[in-house]
Chain A
Amino acid sequence: MPSMPNLKFDSGRPIIVVEAKISGKNLTATAQLVFDTGASLVILPWKITNALGIKIDPNNTIQTATASNIETVPVVIIPEMSVLGQKIKNVKAIVKDLPEGSGVDGLLGLSFIKNFNVKIDFKKGILTLEK
C-alpha cells in the first residue's frame, strides 16, 4: 500500500511550514508557506508571483485589513501547485509580502487546504493530506 502524503514537523514550534511547488510559465518555484487554516486564501509574495509569470489583473483586487492598516492587494489564480505531492489546479491566492522577519514566503490558506482531508497529529508531529 502506498504511503499517505505526510510531513514530519517539529510540534515544538509555533507554526507548521510546508514546501509548496508552484508551476509558472517557465519557472517552477518551491516556496516555504505556513500551513494556515485561518487564512481564506493562499498568500504569495510579489517577487515570486512575478517570477513565475502569474498574471496579475489590476482590476481584480481585494482589501485586507490588518491591525495597523487597510491595503488593496491583487487576487490571482495559480495555475498549478503541489504540497506533499498533492497537485491542485487553479488555486486562488492574494499577492502580498509577509514581514521580512517572518522567515517564510507566504501562507498556505484554505483555497488550497479545502481540497483535502487534513490530519494534524501534534503528538507525533505529522501532517497528512488526503484527497
Chain B
Amino acid sequence: MKITELKKKYKDEWVLAEVVREDKFNQVIEAKPIAHSEKRSEVYRKLSEVKGKKHVTTIYTGKLPEKGMVYAFNAKSKI
C-alpha cells in the first residue's frame, strides 16, 4: 500500500507497517500495515512482537501538533 493511501485509510492513528519500497533518500513509499491504533503504546507493543529480519516503520497519520498544542522538547542533560 502506498504511504499516501495508508495515511488516508488509518487517519489520525499510529501505524506499524513493514516497509515494501523506499526512495533513494530512504523515504518510505510503500508499506504493508501490521497494526494500527489511536495509541502509540499499542503500536509499540506490536513492534515488540515482530520477529525475523524485517524493515518496519512507525507512522502517525494525524496532524502535528494537535490543535491547541505546541512543542517544547527542551531539556538539559548532565553527563
Contacts and interface: CB of A to CB of B under 8 A. Distances in A.
Contacts, number: 109
Nearest to A20: B26
Interface in A66-99: 66, 82-85, 94, 98
B70 to A, nearest CB: 7
Contact of A32 (B48, B59, B76, B77): B59
A30 B44 contact: no
A34 interface: yes
B77 A29 contact: no
A101 B79 contact: no
Contacts of A104: 60, 64
A47 B52 contact: no
A15 B64 contact: yes
A100 B40 contact: yes
Q: How large is the interface on B (under 10, 10 to 19, 20 to 34, 35 or more residues)?
A: 35 or more
A45 B48 CA distance: 12
B57 to A, nearest CB: 4
- Bin chain A's interface residue count: 35 or more
Contact of A62 (B56, B65, B78): B78
The majority secondary structure among interface residues of chain A is mixed
Interface in A3-34: 5-7, 13-15, 17, 19, 21, 26-32, 34
B4 interface: no
A101 to B, nearest CB: 6
A29 B57 contact: yes
A48 B45 CA distance: 10
Given A15-B65, A30-B57, A64 B50 contact: no
9 contacts: A6-B25, A15-B64, A21-B22, A51-B48, A62-B79, A63-B78, A65-B78, A85-B24, A85-B25
